[in-house]
């Protein structure tokens, strides 16, 4: 397949999980792929495995993002696809939210996403595509996700307004809302194995398809949305969640 032949794609947080799988998919579709991430070791390893370009940049550090944009501009001049994928998940119950956790979630999931777009927009070709990785937690009211869900709800609101404002340039902006996906993001929360298993069992029991999603399944949706097959789609959100959003009952 070569639906993206000649296109240049940037994927933030591309060294693992959904970002990694999407980098692999877009490359298979013919795109030149650039991944970014915070860990030099992980980005370099992923870039080597995928045979793509790796750039070290923390999306919450605006000067680092400026440097990343300059590097991409110097090497490629322009890009066609921007997958705003970098994000973190920190579970915090209401009444026990910490300022540090709040700031980390907001700085990476929302501020980082917004300014990733702001920084790359000057080198994004007219007719390009932006995909924001959000979450069904923007809507579910799942316990311990009040702040995390708020960052994703804010990102979805931004997506809709950005789609309207960028339409004159024929730049399409969409959001993908995954349900529970089998990625390393949960293991980075600091939760114990027992807590992770309990949360995993609870969520899986609520999913009509009775399983977690795969990163590759999100990658397929992203690849579709950035292709010409989705040329009349903008300002939209796509739930890829095994039906969880139609069965949003969570035990506390």
Close Cβ partners of 160 (under 8 Å, ≥ 6 residues apart): 235
Domains within the chain, CATH numbers bracketed = 8-236 (3.40.50.720)
Q: Which tokens hold the place of 15? A: 């060294």
Q: What average pLDDT does range 78-82 have in this prediction? A: 98
pLDDT of res. 202: 62
Q: Which residues pair with 9 in a beta bridge?
A: 33, 81
Task: Tell me the CA end-to-end span of the chain in Å, nearest whole number.
Answer: 46
What is the number of helices (H) and of strands (E) in the chain?
Answer: 9, 7
Banded model confidence at residue 208, pLDDT cuts 50, 70, 90: confident
Task: Tell me the percentage of the chain whose pLDDT exceeds 70.
Answer: 88
Mean pLDDT, residues 148-170: 98
Place of tokens 């069992």: 201
| Average pLDDT value for residue range 84-94 | 96
pLDDT of res. 252? 40
Q: Give 31-52 pLDDT, tens digit per residue.
A: 999 999 999 999 999 999 999 9
Active site residues: 148
Structure tokens at 158: 């931004």
| The most confident of 91-105, 185-199, 202-216, by mean pLDDT | 91-105
C-alpha span between 233 and 224 (Å, rounded): 10
Check pLDDT > 90 for residue 231: yes
**pLDDT digits over 2-42, tens only?**
899 999 999 999 999 999 999 999 999 999 999 999 999 99
3-state secondary structure 60-88: CCHHHHHHHHHHHHHHHCCEEEEEECCCC
pLDDT of residue 195: 55
Identify the pLDDT of residue 186: 52
């Amino acid at each position: 397949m070569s639906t993206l032949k000649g296109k240049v794609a940037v994927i933030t947080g591309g060294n693992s999980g959904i970002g990694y799988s999407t980098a692999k998919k877009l490359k298979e579709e013919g795109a030149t792929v650039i991944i970014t991430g915070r860990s030099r070791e992980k980005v370099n390893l992923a870039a080597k495995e995928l045979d793509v370009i790796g750039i070290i940049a923390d999306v919450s550090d605006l000067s680092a993002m400026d440097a990343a944009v300059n590097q991409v501009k110097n090497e490629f001049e322009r890009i066609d696809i921007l997958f705003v994928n970098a994000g973190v998940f920190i579970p915090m119950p209401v009444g026990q939210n910490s300022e540090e956790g709040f700031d980390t979630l907001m700085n990476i999931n929302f501020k980082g996403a917004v300014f990733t777009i702001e920084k790359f927009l000057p080198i994004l070709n007219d007719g390009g595509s932006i995909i924001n990785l959000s979450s069904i937690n923007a809507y579910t009211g799942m316990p311990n996700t009040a702040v995390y869900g708020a960052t994703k709800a804010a990102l979805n609101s931004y997506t809709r307004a950005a789609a309207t404002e960028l339409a004159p340039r024929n730049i399409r902006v969409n959001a993908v809302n995954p349900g529970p996906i089998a990625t390393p993001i949960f293991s980075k929360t600091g939760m114990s194995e027992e807590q992770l298993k309990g949360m995993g069992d609870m969520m899986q029991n609520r999913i009509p398809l009775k399983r977690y999603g795969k990163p590759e399944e999100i990658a397929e949706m992203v690849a579709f949305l950035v292709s010409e097959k989705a040329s009349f789609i903008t300002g939209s959100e796509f739930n890829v969640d095994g039906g969880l959003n139609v069965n949003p009952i969570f035990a506390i």
